[in-house]
A and B are shown apart, each in its own frame.
Chain A
Amino acid sequence: MTKYLLRRLPSAFGVLLLASFVIFLILRAVPGDPAEQLAGNDPSQEAVDAIRRNLGLDRPLLAQYGTWLADLVRGDLGTSYMIGGSVSDLLGQRLGNTLELTAGSLVFSLTLGLALGIAGVTVKNRFGQTLLSAINSVSLIVPPYVSGFLLVFVFAIAWPVLPAGGHVSVFDDPQIGFQYLLMPALVLALPSAAVLARYVKDGLQQALGEDYARTAKSLGVAPRRILWRHALPNALPPVLTVLGMQIGVLIGGAVIIEAVFAWPGLGLLAEQAVTERDYPVIQAVLLFLVAVFVVVQLLTDLAYALIDPRVRLG
């Protein structure tokens, strides 16, 4: 196992290194530079040049890349040009917000997924099944900004019980923070809830078809008891694995949700940093996203390798 991991690691690092280079170069290809942004409204060329020198942006590109990489290896992500302060603090704080959103939506996703999945095996009539399947499909494919728009219209405008957007940390004020979290977390959770529901339903159907379940049924055990006591515990482990894999999807999906609900997470940070050409911040956010992807992929591969020895050897 360790050997397999060791074999996969260089390629993971390769992707990261490649990504760091591509990210660095791409940003320099973008017209407009941070010095001009820092110079504020109606600046003079002199002011811009002074700032550019100050930031070291007048040095050769490769030298700048080298410095960034060397700092990166030492764990120094640099200082934000526009926002000020260290990029790692900034990244940590915004990542915290995004994770708060992600965690909220995981809860929703699990609850809804279980509910829909269990309903999928317990609802027997045709109409119910069609309805469930429609709910499932719609929550899977409706674009998040569409569901976001509708929710905002219903719960923030027509019947104003929830804020239209913004963020208060649930750690600072659980009660208020929860209300800010509700809509964005739900919108983000919908697609993955549909995915989970599918796995829950499949798992339950399989478990209910097993010998012990049929034996229990023939012995007269109540179907509800069989479902909750026997089938569900058996169906859960693969569902939890899927849930884990959804975390990466959720972090990626959070970008548009953050824009819709003005949630100050990584996505909004990336948007702001790109607009302001805040190189150190964009570089860090982009590289972080690549790292998340690489790690999730590595873990997925490891999981497969654990299950299937051929992968490990081949």
Chain B
Amino acid sequence: MPAVPSLDTSRRTVLRAAGAGAVLLASAGCKSAVDENTNPAGGGSSGTPKRGGTLQIGSMVDFTPALLFTQNSFSVLSRLVFNTLTAYDRNLVPQPQLAKSWQVAPDGTSVTFQLRENVRFHSGRPFTSEDVVFAINNLKEAKRSAQLRATAAVVSDFTVTSPTELTLRLAHPVSNLFDLFEFMIITDRETVEEAVTGKKLIGTGPFVFKTWTPGASLSFSRNPEYFVPERPYFDGVEVRIFPQAESLLSALRSKQIQLASGLSGRDIAPIKSDNQFAIQEFDTGGGATYVGVNVSVPPLQDKRIRQAISYAINRRRIVEQAFGGYGFASSAPWPKSSPAYSEATAKRYPYDPARAKALLAEAGATSLDLPLGFLSTAPAVGQMVQFDLEQIGIKTTLEPMEPAQFQTRLIGQTLPALWTGQHGFAQVHPSTLAVSAYPFNEAKNSSKFSDPGYTEIVQRAWRQVDPNGPVAKAAYQDLSEVLLDQQFVIDLVVLANLHATTSNLQGVAQNEFSALDLDNAYLA
């Protein structure tokens, strides 16, 4: 696999010359791993989609087949090989994908789908209603650990009317039903066990999975029978794994790859002002950074102390120094596209050490000394929170945790008094956050926070028929309000999900769960 898509003519001559042990590859005529490549599709005016060529992608993380049915940090594959039933537009209104049309019953307890006809899996088998039934039942299985399992579990019964029409019956109405259909990839049901070990990945998507070499690369070829006519533009996609930011950036700068996935705002600083590169910023899918509070550790059961902590942290400085200026400071978990977002909630806790001190005094908390856990792989935020808290008189001891250890303690509710972490799932319907994201789960969360009022609001926000109706919106406001008032999760920054690309790469998109969508992508 050539690292550089280049013409073969010059290559052979070079190979002969390289026989002498060409140490000086920088000399003219040589194929270089760092020289800037002319793009394979040739020049051309931007704006007109160009057909053909192979897109080279670099990713910080490798594919983990066991996490195929979850949202995870490898976001490249799922929307290339697979499709979902529906896809949200920017206003969270579902648009047809594998489903052509649908009707939700007025009481919200059933939904009927008409599926697209003549869609085939990459194996040649036609896609039918049975595949949808399988997909939902599959997500219900605990071992798939799909984050939207709670929503899938609400689907209690199926009626298959024809190969292209089926009705799902729900145990009760839920406001985040279409979050599930945005999230749920439709896989070939005959090969699912081979899919979760990475041997065979068969979907209906724009690209056909060819090979995966763990730790090194994945390759995909164009699906000529993709149901969207004339798409995709690319003949193929190659993904190479660079488990380290500088190497990934170096590969992008030398234009061996045209898209880098997984770089943080800090990493891309050197190319920020270089017009050969473009940086696409999505406020969805990056999740949010927060300080979690274990309310069972005295005196943190007092919400005034939690609010004091929230006032004490300089969120702007975290955005600048820890995230290179990307993302935005916010005391609420919601990205700007969320129905629950408002500027007032985002700015509810401005940086105000004086007020924080006053709140502490009011609560009678003096000489606090608390442990502060943080992920050892991301030490910046923890240190900044520690420093800010020290300024209002809360002493903390930083406690590094490896990702694995952190996960264990998050699940087991054994985290220290305070910790910094990241959570997802605020980007779709707000109820998804409260029933799917672990720090917020009303039944059992890492903060050990439990409150009948909170439970009532979460259930009310979840069991809505019309997710965008006024009743639902009021419920989201209540949810937002209770989170901001209780502050058992103190949100700091809504993170950006960044795609760093060469500036000639056009038409790259991602869905609400940050899966890369290359249907309309091309190199200008």
Contact = CB atoms under 8 A, between A and B. Distances in A.
Q: Are any A and B Cβ atoms less than 8 Å apart in their complex?
A: yes
A42 B247 contact: no
A140 interface: no
A66 interface: no
B122 interface: no
B214 A172 contact: no
Best-buried of B1, B34, B249, B423 by chain A (most CB within 10 Å): B34
Nearest to A80: B214
Interface residues of B, number: 68
A32 B66 CA distance: 17
Contact of B66 (A82, A90, A269): A82
Interface stretch (A44-52, A235-243, A244-252): A44-52
Contact of B438 (A42, A54, A84, A264): A42
Contacts, number: 183
B198 A85 contact: yes
Interface string A170-199: 001111111110100000000000000000
A46 B142 contact: yes
Contact of B408 (A33, A94, A152): A33
Contacts of B149: 44, 47
Range of interface residues on A (Cβ < 8 Å): 35 or more
Given A32-B402, A163-B34, A50 B143 contact: yes
Contact of A32 (B33, B64, B407): B407
Given A160-B34, A165-B250, A176-B3, A84 B196 contact: yes
A262 B244 contact: yes
Nearest to A167: B216
A176 B4 contact: yes
Interface stretch (B11-19, B111-119, B277-285): B11-19
Nearest to B33: A179
A49 B33 CA distance: 47
B437 interface: yes
B411 A48 contact: yes
B514 to A, nearest CB: 12
Contact of B437 (A40, A42, A94, A277): A42
A41 B421 CA distance: 12
B233 interface: no
Given A48-B411, A165-B244, 15 more contacts: A31-B405, A41-B147, A44-B149, A81-B66, A83-B64, A83-B198, A83-B214, A94-B215, A156-B34, A156-B250, A160-B254, A163-B251, A166-B240, A175-B15, A179-B34
The 6 closest A-B pairs by CB, nearest first: A165-B247, A32-B404, A164-B250, A40-B70, A262-B244, A50-B142
8 contacts: A36-B404, A85-B197, A166-B250, A168-B3, A175-B11, A179-B33, A180-B3, A182-B23
